[in-house]
């Protein structure tokens, strides 16, 4: 990938050795890191080397009467004005070229401090405009004109204010093992930013779930990114998530894909453990008999903080564990606990964020003596 801002922009920090070089370095680091626990091969899932991000956030910089995109500098000495970005999807790149001109022409640049893009491979995009001022009827009229000119869905945000002019989501299509899955992605909610790597993550995970059967428990399910495809491998799936917006989207995604064997519940991982053990009762579980599920497989995709000691003790009850991690360091900490009761069967590395030090990991574990 060629980028005029390499070495100055703080977004891409590992650029000198090119795509293959940066990936090779990251993989060698995690191989060494996990070698005390796992001696097998680590499958490596690569990313496109450019134009891979379907989600992007940029600062807006005001200077000499003009407005510019800006990113934090690599040396952390303020902001860097940029005109383009080589890692965003072709659709985002196309809109970026026109957006600032149209904003200035319509007179809606005042107090604008950021823009967030969310695109789909289906040609849809939300554009969230972030302001340090309340947004009024005049802004809405001009923003609707911006929607028409650019063919995007505009959302205006300021303190305690969110204005949706048409819709605040896009519909994405993922192609997984020869089948198409459709997902509603809501702006300002978590979505996987690299669609091609996301497809590989799901496909690798599905391969680890072959010939297990029974029922699946998923914690941190989000909007059902993994849940929907996983449903074909199990009799029933019970999936929990703390975000109300994500649970709403997950239920929509289940209907969108004609899947019927998933129960989405808005509970934190800690709350679900309490419910399963009979420590607390939750109105959100009313009508759902958790004890009827044959939960022998657990899937987790936690935040960067990982699981921690108590959730790992809970996870150790299950015969089969599938763990997707966005932080190898907390994954290693958790595996040191889980490896006391489970054997690591397979590991994978997913290059979700090329040219950064980040590398996502996948691990399949089986309880010792349960084979």
pLDDT tens sequence across 106-153: 999 999 999 999 999 999 999 999 999 999 999 999 999 999 999 999
**Cα separation of the two ends of the chain:** 46
Domain CATH code at residue 122:
2.40.50.1070
pLDDT over 80 (residue 287)? no
201 and 314 in a single domain? The answer is: yes
- Quote the radius of gyration of the chain (alpha carbons, Å): 22
User: Dihedral (C-alpha) 229, 235, 238, 244: value to the nearest 10 degrees?
Assistant: 50
Mean pLDDT of 31-37: 97
Is 132 inside a domain boundary? yes
Whether residue 217 sits in one domain with residue 145: no
pTM of the shown model: 0.94
31/63 same-domain check: no
Inside any domain, residue 175: no
The pLDDT value given to residue 236: 97
User: What's the confidence (pLDDT) of residue 13?
Assistant: 86
Q: What is the pLDDT of residue 183?
A: 98
The pLDDT assigned to 315 comes to 95
- Average pLDDT of the residues in 2-20: 90
205 and 224 housed in the same domain: yes
Residue 228: band (very low, low, confident or very high) from pLDDT cuts 50, 70, 90? very high
Residues ≥6 apart with Cβ < 8 Å to 104: 66, 67
Task: Check pLDDT > 90 for residue 266.
Answer: yes
> Quick check: is 5 in a domain?
no
123 shares a domain with 32: no
Phi-psi region of 262 (alpha: psi -120 to 50; beta: other; left: phi over 0): beta
Q: Is residue 110 part of a domain?
A: yes
Chain segment 174-215, per-residue pLDDT in tens: 999 999 999 999 999 989 999 999 999 999 999 999 999 999
Does 6 fall in a domain? Answer: no
**Confidence label for 371 from pLDDT (cuts 50, 70 and 90):** low
Q: Is residue 99 included in any domain, yes or no?
A: yes
**160 and 262 in a common domain:** no
Q: Note whether residue 345 is domain-resident.
A: yes
Same domain? For 213 and 348 the reply is yes
Name the most confidently modeled range: 5-9, 76-80, 187-191, 331-335. 331-335
With a cut of 70, say whether residue 44 has pLDDT above it. Answer: yes
What residues act catalytically?
326, 360
The confidence band for 270, taking pLDDT boundaries of 50, 70 and 90, is confident
Query: Which of 136, 170, 204 is the endpoint of a domain?
Result: 170
Q: How far apart are CA 199 and CA 174, in angstroms?
A: 6
SS (H, E, C) the chain: CCCCCCCCECCCCCCCCHHHHHHHHHHHHHHHHHCCCCCCCEEEECCCCCCCECEEEEEEEEECCEEEEEEEECCCCCEEEECCCCCECHHHHHHHHHHHHHHHHHCCCCCEEEEEEEECCCCCEEEEEEECCCCCHHHHHHHHHHHHHHCCEEEEEECCEEEECCCCEEEEEEEECCEEEEEEEECCCCCCCCHHHHHHHHHHHHHHCCCCCCEEEEECCCCCCCHHHHHHHCCEEEEECCCHHHHHHHHHHHHHCCCCCEEEECCCHHHHHHHHCCCCCCHHHCCCCHHHCCEEEEEECCCCCCCCHHHHHHHCCCCEEEEEECCHHHHHHHHHHHCCCEEEEEEEEECCCCCCCCCEEEEEEEECCCC
Count the domains in the chain: 2
Range of the domain at 136: 55-170
The answer on 253 and 362 residing in a single domain is: yes
pLDDT of 277 above 90? no
Task: Please indicate, yes or no, whether residues 152 and 240 belong to a single structural domain of this protein.
Answer: no
Q: CATH code at 241?
A: 3.40.50.150
The answer on pLDDT for 370 being more than 80 is no
Are 44 and 63 in the same domain? no
Percent of the chain with pLDDT over 90: 87
Mean pLDDT over each residue of the chain, to the nearest integer = 95
Q: For the residues 321-337, what does the mean pLDDT come to? A: 98
Q: What percent of the chain has pLDDT over 70?
A: 100
pLDDT at residue 330 is higher than 70: yes
Calculate mean pLDDT across residues 298-317: 94
In a domain, 91, yes or no: yes
- Picking from 110, 137, 170, the residue at the C-terminal end of a domain is 170
Whether residue 15 is predicted with pLDDT greater than 90 in this model: the reply is: no
Distance of CA 278 to the CA centre of its chain: 32
* 227 & 325 share domain: yes
Q: Are residues 351 and 209 in the same domain?
A: yes
Closest CA to 42 of 333, 337, 341, 325: 325
43 band by pLDDT with thresholds 50, 70 and 90:
very high
Is residue 294 scored above 70 in pLDDT? Answer: yes
Read off the pLDDT of residues 48-107 as tens digits, 9 standing for 90 and up.
999 999 999 999 999 988 999 999 999 989 999 999 999 999 999 999 999 999 999 999
């Amino acid at each position: 990938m060629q980028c005029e801002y390499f070495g100055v922009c703080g977004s891409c920090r590992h650029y000198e050795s090119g795509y293959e070089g940066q990936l090779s370095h990251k993989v060698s680091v995690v191989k060494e890191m996990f070698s005390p626990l796992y001696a097998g091969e680590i499958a490596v899932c690569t990313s496109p080397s450019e134009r891979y991000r379907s989600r992007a956030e940029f600062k807006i910089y005001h200077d000499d009467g003009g407005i510019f995109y800006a990113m934090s500098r690599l040396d952390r000495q303020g902001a860097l004005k940029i005109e383009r970005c080589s890692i965003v999807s072709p659709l985002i790149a196309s809109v970026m070229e026109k957006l600032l001109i149209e904003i200035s022409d319509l007179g809606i640049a005042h107090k604008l401090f950021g823009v967030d893009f969310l695109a789909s491979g289906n040609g849809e995009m939300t554009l969230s405009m972030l302001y340090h001022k309340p947004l009024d009827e005049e802004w809405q009229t001009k923003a609707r004109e911006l929607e028409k000119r650019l063919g995007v869905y505009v959302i205006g945000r300021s303190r305690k204010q969110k204005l949706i002019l048409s819709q605040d989501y896009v519909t994405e299509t993922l192609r997984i093992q020869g089948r198409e899955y459709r997902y509603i992605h809501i702006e300002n909610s978590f979505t996987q930013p690299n669609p091609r790597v996301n497809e590989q993550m799901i496909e690798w995970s599905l391969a680890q779930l072959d010939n297990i059967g029974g029922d699946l428990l998923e914690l941190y399910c989000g909007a059902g990114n993994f849940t929907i495809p996983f449903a074909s491998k199990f009799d029933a799936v019970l999936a929990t998530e703390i975000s109300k917006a994500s649970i709403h989207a997950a239920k929509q995604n289940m209907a969108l894909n004609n899947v019927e064997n998933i129960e989405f519940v808005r509970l934190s991982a800690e709350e679900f453990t309490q419910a399963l053990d009979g420590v607390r009762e939750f109105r959100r579980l009313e009508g759902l008999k958790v004890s009827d599920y044959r939960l022998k497989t657990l899937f987790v995709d936690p935040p960067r903080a990982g699981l921690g000691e108590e959730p790992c003790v809970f996870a150790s009850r299950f015969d089969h564990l599938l763990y997707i991690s966005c932080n190898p360091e907390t994954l290693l900490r958790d595996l040191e606990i889980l490896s006391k009761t489970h054997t690591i069967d397979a590991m994978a590395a997913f290059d979700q964020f090329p040219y950064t030090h980040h590398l996502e990991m996948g691990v399949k574990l089986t309880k010792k003596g349960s084979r």
